[in-house]
Amino acid sequence: MFGSPGEVRGVLNASIELYWLSAFSREARLPKDAVFFLLDSNGQVLANSHSLLNDADGALPKQRDAGSATSPPIDRAPLTSIVRQDLIKEVVARRLVDFQAIGNDGVRRVYSSVALPHGDVIVLFGVPARTMLGWIKQDLVARVSSLAAIWLMGIGAAWIGTRYLVTRWTTSLRRMALAYARGDYSAKLDLQRAPSELRDLGNSLMLMAHRIQDREHDLRDSVDQKDMLLREVHHRVKNNLQIITSLLNIHDKQIQNNDPHKVINDIRMRVRALALVHRYLYEGSDVRLMNLKPFLTELAQMLVNSLSSPDRRISLNLDIPNVTVQAERGVSIGLLVTEAITNSLKHAFPHNRPGRITLQVIRKGPTSATLVIADDGVGMQGKQPPEDQPTPTNLGTQLIHGFASQLGTEISVLEDSGTRIELDLNLAPSGREEPGLVPAQ
């Protein structure tokens, strides 16, 4: 050990008792008559297996008494009494590694020598030829048994770890998935302690089940709504048939005093108005609501085209915004407008007099509006019926007041340069209005 440059501070020496090295041969569990020698480059014995064996063996040297202060000497006597001198020289010279020979003690052995690295030390090991295979077999069985035990322990540890970390969670996920397959979406799992992949999978399954459950609720609500709408359709059909029956009963009294074909045409026009109401209802996105703009526009044009000829020069002035009413009100509004325009076309413009019919909806608030049907004809006073029949406008006027009563409102009739009919309407909330698209013909 050196301190400052060139200054020796001390010397450290370590040594190992050569006799102590012989104890390592115990770990090898050598078979009977097997030998082990540790030699230096001069062939001197540093350690051997015989120094641990019984002194009764005549081929081995005598050991000192147990109370001796020093370890027994290890000499060449056991080596030369077993291995021939010429073979020892060949081993030390490292020209002989594996060989078989009969020792000086008469035992045939299989020898193997190994030169240890980083030193001139050689290990010579010999096993009796007659027991070599048995010893190898015993050692092989021991090693295979050790490997099998390690393998079984590994399988057991893997099974326990897999069961605790994976399979118990996958089993729970499988039970939850089976519950979902049966339609029980209330099954839930606490996956906080599960592996992240299985936790993500379980959360995805529960989210999917929640969405399916919401979807099923929506579908049930939709089915219930459709059932309700179907019942409402049947109810409306019944009401419309009752309306048609009432119209037939009313016109039945006029057939005796009027042209039957004319009466039938009047009935046909009112039935067409009913059909137009239903077409706009069922072609819309919501059969409970009806947009008045496309409906009243087509209805007014149909009446003018059907009840007047081109040479009469009757113009139609429409001013109808996109307003929505409940479907039940749409039927009454359609029949009222039909009666009002029909009366104007039949009686307001006698002798092919030109004129203009105005149909207008004036919005007054979010849920209220005023319906206006006006003409610039001769007015109510100028409508003279033929002498052989009652006033023709009485029936139409009665129907208009009846439909207004169904709407829960009253009409006002003004005569100033023609006839002007006004009535208040209750609209559906503005958020439920439909776009003003005219359905396909």
- The answer to whether the beta carbons of residues 360 and 323 sit under 8 Å apart is no
pLDDT in tens, 63-107: 334 344 444 444 455 677 788 788 888 888 888 788 888 877 788
DSSP letter for each residue of 232-271: HHHHHHHHHHHHHHHHHHHHHTTTTTS-HHHHHHHHHHHH
pLDDT in tens, 210-251: 888 888 888 888 888 778 777 777 777 777 777 777 777 766
What confidence tier does 21 reach under pLDDT thresholds 50, 70, 90?
Answer: low
Please report the pLDDT score of residue 90 as a whole number. 84
What Cα–Cα distance (Å) separates residue 364 from each residue in 46, 248, 290, 318, 361?
122, 37, 19, 18, 9
pLDDT in tens, 249-298: 766 666 666 667 777 777 787 788 878 877 877 777 777 788 899 989 99
Query: What would the mean pLDDT of 134-146 be, rounded to a whole number?
Result: 77
The rounded distance, in Å, linking the Cα atoms of 382 and 391 is 12
How many residues are there in the chain?
441
Question: Which tokens hold the place of 306?
Answer: 């059907």
pLDDT in tens, 301-337: 988 888 877 777 889 999 999 999 988 888 889 889 9
Residue 435 φ/ψ, nearest 5 degrees: -65, 150
Domain 18-131 falls in which CATH fold?
Beta-Lactamase (3.30.450)
What confidence tier does 423 reach under pLDDT thresholds 50, 70, 90?
Answer: very high
Domain 279-432 has CATH 3.40.50.300: no
Q: What is the DSSP letter of 312?
A: G
